[in-house]
Amino acid sequence: MLSRRFLPPLATLVALLSLAGLTGACGGGKKKAAPVPPLEAYRQAEAFMAARKHGKAIKWFEKVDTSQDAELRAQVHLRLADAYFERSNILNLAEAQTRYQSFLNAFPLSDQAPYAQFRYAQCLARQINKPERDQTPTYRAMGEFRKVEELYPSSPWMAEARKSLADLEDHLSQDALVKAYFYYRRKAYRAAEARLRDLITANPDWEGRDEALFYLAVSLRRTERGAAGDEVLTVLSRDFPDTKFGKKAQALLARGGPPAAAPAAAAGTP
């Protein structure tokens, strides 16, 4: 028990207790920071987007209070999707895809809907498989790009959508060539021929068409349809005289008959 001589006088004790209470009231917790005005938070987020600091942009977009402004709510919704899209890795791409779809569901009449549809299709296009693997994601992406043309024919994104569609068609052509060459190497020439004909018909302007024509011609020759094969070689040597496969066609026509062995691996194929 403390000696009485160590106890402060009553008046002093009261003063000390009052001071302690005052200090506790002042320092009992941090003051909450005043909320950032919505437009200021939005401007800060856009500044980080311009600086390509997408992680910080996401944090600032999430701070924007859009409860009183429907137009701002739509814009923040879309720009959050953009921020995730720009981060590129597969997890962020999946998040962006979900957010673009959510925007289209929530704001179907927005003048930004064509852009959101185009970006949604781009998310899918960035997740397609390499040639020789399942191309279902490729067909799905193509379907979404076609929606830009079908739903928003006058939008500024239509030309970009068409270019993306052409790129995906070329990707499918490369996939078809790889698979046709698989059969060709195994001397399943009829199976190779069928796939090569489909490829050439589906995408007649593909830049790899000369390679497809060459293997089609050789497949025909090797199944004792030399005349048909020569017709293809003639087209190949005429239309692609300066390419690797055009020169091979010229050599085969000059030599006559099928080559003694299957040619070396096709350019761009395993």
Q: Per-residue confidence at 35, pLDDT binned at 50, 70, 90?
A: confident
Containing 21, the helix (H) or strand (E) segment is helix 10-27
Q: Give residue 133's pLDDT.
A: 93
pLDDT(241) > 70:
yes
Q: What percent of the chain has pLDDT over 70?
A: 83
Number of H helices, E strands in the chain: 12, 0
- Tell me how far apart the alpha carbons of residues 180 and 195 are, in angstroms, rounded to a whole number: 6
The least confident of 55-59, 86-90, 175-179 is 86-90
3-state helix, strand, coil in the chain (%, to 5): 70, 0, 30
pTM: 0.78
Q: Per-residue confidence at 24, pLDDT binned at 50, 70, 90?
A: very low
The least confident of 10-19, 43-52, 237-246 is 10-19
Give the model confidence (pLDDT) of 248-269 as tens digits.
Answer: 999 999 887 555 444 444 444 4
Give the model confidence (pLDDT) of 105-151 as tens digits.
Answer: 999 999 999 999 999 999 999 999 999 899 999 999 999 999 999 99
